[in-house]
Structure 1
Amino acid sequence: MRVFVTRPEHEARRWVDELCQRGFDAQAFPLIAILPVADAAPVQDAWRRLAACRAAMFVSGNAVRHFFGSRPAGMAWPPAARAWATGAGTHAALIAAGVPGASIDAPPASAVQFDSETLWSQVAPQVRTGDRVLIVRGGDAQGAAAGRDWLAERLGSVGAVVDTVVSYRRGAPQLTAAQLALARAGGVWLFSSSEAIAHLTELLPQQDWRGSRAVATHPRIAHAARRAGFGVVCESRPAVDAVVAVLESFR
């Protein structure tokens, strides 16, 4: 069974390796291109303000890697600052970047979802009125902040001061003719982003997806896949074992 792994390239590799080991014909098919920001100065300024923050929340592993990639020389993670991660990949990226594990807050591995809502249930007791929280996120292809504002709104509702910095940009992929032909031939699509679905339908505007199957790692993403016309859409926790269980049901 061919499985298209649509995560950005850096993240797709691990998933492809894991799925191939489980007997699937997994193909890296990144539907989001990860790009550096045009100007690193705002990220460097955020680093200089980090010691005054209660916490910094990272939306993804890419946010971590690009934030630390623009770190001013000689600066280290402030001992008093917490690092918030929404999932295991972001947590691992923080560890790889040198943030002490004791400084990281993230949903437990057993969580039903790895998202802002689940993270908030873990970190809400930390936040006091007047605390500063930095949200490190991605931007669109032009560098404008993009993504959900749920956590920022929740922090504001309890009196926290929220700063946002864009550490990387997300753009549409550049696919080859061979890749597009492979997509038309079909397989099971593994989606971890609604944006990836939008890019796929833009790249193949004439494709009829009613006979295609998709696995989505969040209810919002599943909703986007159904709107795009996928005939079979199954939801899964964003963990390899959970995704494999769904894929096995397709055999």
Structure 2
Amino acid sequence: MTLAVLLPFLAIAAVAGYFQTVTGFGLGMIVMGATSGLEVAPVASVAAVVSLMTLANSAVALPGKLGHLDPRVTAATIAGILPAIVAGVLLLDYLSGSAASVVRVALGLVVIYGGVSLVLRPRQHDTLSSRKSFFVSGVLSGLFGGLFGIAGPPVIYQCYRQPMPLVAIRNMLILLFAATSGVRTLFVALRGQLDAEILTLTAWAIPVVALATYAGRRWPPPLSALAMRRLAFVTLVAIGAGLIASELY
């Protein structure tokens, strides 16, 4: 692994770790989208690294923050996530061997969806959605998480339309991403797919993500929630569109 590969990867990881800490999402989408667009490493390898990075981010961001969460809807969402992760990993294995371009275009669409869902959110509900609704969003997120290490868009959409404080939404999202990443990493490890490249990238990325996460907690940007959503929209749509364009043209 050369510095020409490692340094861009770490720079992307640092930006993504800070971004996720101040918004509650974005680490996986930014790292997967940007590194795939630059062809830093195979999608399957980066997805495994993203899962491990997300665990590091969550370990720094979550302590002392779980008291804001609703345990019933959180449990229902995780129950939907867990089985779908396995299906997503197996589907990625199949597509990586037979349709790599399809994987990259699908990843670009998921990243764009993540950005668009931020600005086209429906009005907040007056009451909390049912646990079944959270379960379904968990299934969809688990599938995305298994495929790309990105569990974000469905649960982001689900959580942001709930009548919950912003701090509760942000911390619930980080917890759900941690659960997705933990289960995905365990499943991949049991299949013997955590190779030297993945472990090397992770060993370098985790301290960078941890420092970026601390910086996000200590020095958040002086932006309103609306401004943060707009920034996230522009960033994710640009990354996703660039990834799709690189495959189609």
State the TM bucket, normalised to the shorter chain. Answer: under 0.3
Q: Which has the bigger relative contact order, CA under 8 A and spacing at least 6? A: 2
Kindly indicate which of the two structures has a greater share of residues assigned to strand. Answer: 1
Kindly indicate which of the two structures has a greater share of residues assigned to helix. Answer: 2
> Normalising by the residue count of structure 1, what TM-score does the alignment of the two structures yield?
0.26
> Normalising by the residue count of structure 2, what TM-score does the alignment of the two structures yield?
0.26
Over alpha carbons, which structure has the higher Rg?
Answer: 1
